[in-house]
Amino acid sequence: MLRECCNAFLASFKIWNAATVGGNICMSLPAGPMISLVVALEATLTLWPRNAPPREIRAVDFVTGNHMNVLQRGELLRSIHLPARALCKRFAFRRASLTRLGRSAALLIGTRSADADDLLITITAATPRPLQLFFDRAPSAEDLRHAIDALISADFYFDDVHGTPAYKRHLTYYFAEQIRAELARPGKATRPGAGIRTIPSTARSSPPSRSPVSACARSCAITVPSASRRAATRAIAAHARSGSTECRCTPA
């Protein structure tokens, strides 16, 4: 999981060899992969106020919106504690981006205890702040979809150049069901890379993919000039309204 989130953190050359884990968390952008990592691993953050004793907060509660968090004026993020039980869990990782190393349109991580039938799904990038779904027992596909709808309203999905709310809702349904099915299987979780990985608009064709979502990638990975990225997501927005967790994209 750490490697997958770091790969999603490559991003712009402007931060190469300069970005930090704490800086990415405190920047509190919807697509911050270090936020996705610590939330999925159920971390506890220790904050140092300027004139008060240190306080602790769950990672899932730290980010409150796009570029917003609970830090008060002069307060610092001092440490990040990752519980051993979370580090021992199986996981499944899915991510979508309009470009190979671009900002995530949706990044979902699922974890399951080795000795239990529980399921924790962390939803980031598609929403302004991290959201989590916890199930004591593995849900059915229908129960999972209902839980997503109960947690996230259609207008809460983050709208930006990387995808419309309808597009990100479609990805959330699709990735969440993939994660549920993958972790429901016995044994060690497979690691299909980073889910849908699109190619730059300058590339002429997409290389073969061994990822189980490659069929969706052929249609979701619409490669167009950056000035038209928003328009690109409209092509599949209609499929998100159909109510199905299956990919309904039409191969190009």
Q: Where are the domains of the chain?
A: 2-85, 89-240
On the 0-12 / 13-18 / 19+ scale of CB atoms within 10 A, 156 is middle
Q: Which CATH class is domain 89-240?
A: alpha beta
- Residue 102: per-residue pLDDT: 81
Nearest to 123 by CA among 210, 194, 187, 39: 39
Tell me, what amino acid is at 120?
A: L
pLDDT grade, residue 141 (50/70/90)? very high
Distance CA 100, CA 24 (A): 20
Question: CA-CA distances (angstroms) from residue 91 to 37, 171, 182?
Answer: 11, 18, 9
CATH assignment of 2-85, given 3.30.465.10, 3.30.420.40, 3.10.580.10, 3.30.70.270? 3.30.465.10
| Rounded alpha-carbon distances, angstroms, from residue 195 to 27, 214, 239 | 25, 8, 19
pLDDT tens digits, one per residue of 93-140: 999 998 877 889 999 999 999 889 999 999 999 999 999 999 999 999
pLDDT of residue 151 exceeding 60:
yes
- Whole-angstrom distance, CA of residue 154 vs CA of residue 147: 13
The enclosing H or E element of 120 equals strand 119-124
Confidence of residue 58 (pLDDT cuts 50, 70, 90): very high
Range 195-224 average pLDDT: 34
